[in-house]
Structure 1
């Protein structure tokens, strides 16, 4: 059996034509994990922080209760795409409802913070993708940290972790080496191995949100573009 057939995303897609009870537990895990991108999109769309929290909560409830995942197809879809498309649809509906309420005599809502966000150069889609990438990296890093903790190397991880995200220069490696009483080459090798393992964990994390290997590679490529754009 392909390893992709056992991912949460594939299980969700398979359960889409059966009963929501089969899909909901796995889907709720993904929704909790990837709440930050949803909030980023809503905020960048011009909503104030307190409103964004309420809208995100309402969105996920509707996403689950109305079974918006029932059109999921792991052969051509990624959870990120499904979530983003569903979120756009949700916000359009919410905007229409608010307009209708104002026409009926509701008070207009003016938020200076929201106006500032709308004027920002970053689009809601860019904010969503950036937050998605940040979530993937954070979850992979957390898994890496747990592995080192289980090996009894928490203090060593704390010293090396700052060197993982960006390629460390010689001075940074030298400081860690001096602090830990190791040679610089030894620290460099440790960092190289940790970075390799972190890349593996990123792939494992993304496997939970795609349906097959081709989709995984496409997702990795798109997220590399997001990473380079934010560099």
Structure 2
């Protein structure tokens, strides 16, 4: 098996003694994976406005505290570290809210009350949003590749069938519109799906430290989010 490529996650570990470099890599990962954190906070009982503010506050705290010094891609994954830090942050936040509540101030929504009656708890919402974020990044990279190849219009039409939900008549009509044989279009779609699976792995590699961790990440995200990632 080829050696694991240098990624943003492994870069953080290798540049611990160069804080500016490690911080830039960490900030990029935080920007990329803001949606799952926001989903977790929302499912923890906060209003959209409060959740947005808390998400910003969390990332500022996460970066300022130098969490890159705790990064060990050989033993863990960025998703696990981020989730651990987020749990601790919200626990401290709830403690502050309870203190204010006892003093007659802010009314805090209890975690159990917030989750009751919802289909997803915070951790499942976090995992599902993580998967959607990974897929979105991979699709954007795939779109850029097709754009460079001068096939942006074909991509925009073909991507609608990426999940296998195409009906025969609609696919045949698309082939006629693009003036290609149906079998040719089927081959293009197959290759698109294969490339998307590759890009999903490339995206996840930015957040794990080994091929073994990548396999574990794929398995856990499939189970936790109930969504399909590349096989």
Question: Residues 28-79 of structure 1, C-alpha deviation per residue, up to 9 Å, x if partnerless?
Answer: 1110000000000000111110000000000000000011232221112011
Is 1:14 aligned with 2:14? yes
Q: Hey, what's the Cα distance between the residues in 1 that align with 2:211 and 2:78?
A: 14
> In 2 relative to 1, CA 4–118 (structure 1 residues): closer, same or farther, beyond 3 Å?
farther
Q: TM-score, normalised by structure 1?
A: 0.90
**Aligned residue among 125, 133, 158 for 1:127:** 125
Where in structure 2 are the equivalents of 1:75-90 lying within 5 Å?
Answer: 75-90=74-89
Q: Hey, what's the Cα distance between the residues in 2 that align with 1:179 and 1:127?
A: 39
Equivalent residue, structure 2, for 1:66: 65
Q: How many pairs does the alignment contain?
A: 226
Q: TM-score, normalised by structure 2?
A: 0.90
Structure having the larger proportion of residues in helix? 1
Q: Is the 8 A contact 1:80 1:209 kept in 2?
A: yes
The offset of 1:151, in angstroms, is: 1.1
Q: Is the 8 A contact 1:45 1:117 kept in 2?
A: yes
Q: Hey, what's the Cα distance between the residues in 2 that align with 1:67 and 1:49?
A: 27
Question: Residues 100-130 of structure 1, C-alpha deviation per residue, up to 9 Å, x if partnerless?
Answer: 122233142569xx96654203111100000
Q: Is the 8 A contact 1:5 1:11 kept in 2?
A: no
Is 1:225 aligned with 2:228? no
Equivalent residue, structure 2, for 1:26: 25
The offset of 1:96, in angstroms, is: 0.5
Q: Secondary structure at the match of 1:4?
A: coil
Q: Hey, what's the Cα distance between the residues in 1 that align with 2:104 and 2:14?
A: 46
Question: Residues 5-45 of structure 1, C-alpha deviation per residue, up to 9 Å, x if partnerless?
Answer: 511001112333x2432211011111000000000000011
Equivalent residue, structure 2, for 1:190: 188
Q: Hey, what's the Cα distance between the residues in 1 that align with 2:122 and 2:109?
A: 20
User: What is the Cα-based RMSD across aligned positions, in Å?
Assistant: 2.1
**Aligned residue among 178, 181, 201 for 1:180:** 178
Q: Is the 8 A contact 2:46 2:109 kept in 1?
A: no
Q: Relative contact order: is structure 1 or structure 2 higher (C-alpha 8 Å, sep ≥ 6)?
A: 1
Q: Hey, what's the Cα distance between the residues in 1 that align with 2:3 and 2:23?
A: 21
**Unpaired segments ≥5 residues, structure 1:** none
Q: Hey, what's the Cα distance between the residues in 1 that align with 2:148 and 2:227?
A: 33
> In 2 relative to 1, CA 160–5 (structure 1 residues): closer, same or farther, beyond 3 Å?
closer
> In 2 relative to 1, CA 137–230 (structure 1 residues): closer, same or farther, beyond 3 Å?
closer
Equivalent residue, structure 2, for 1:105: 104
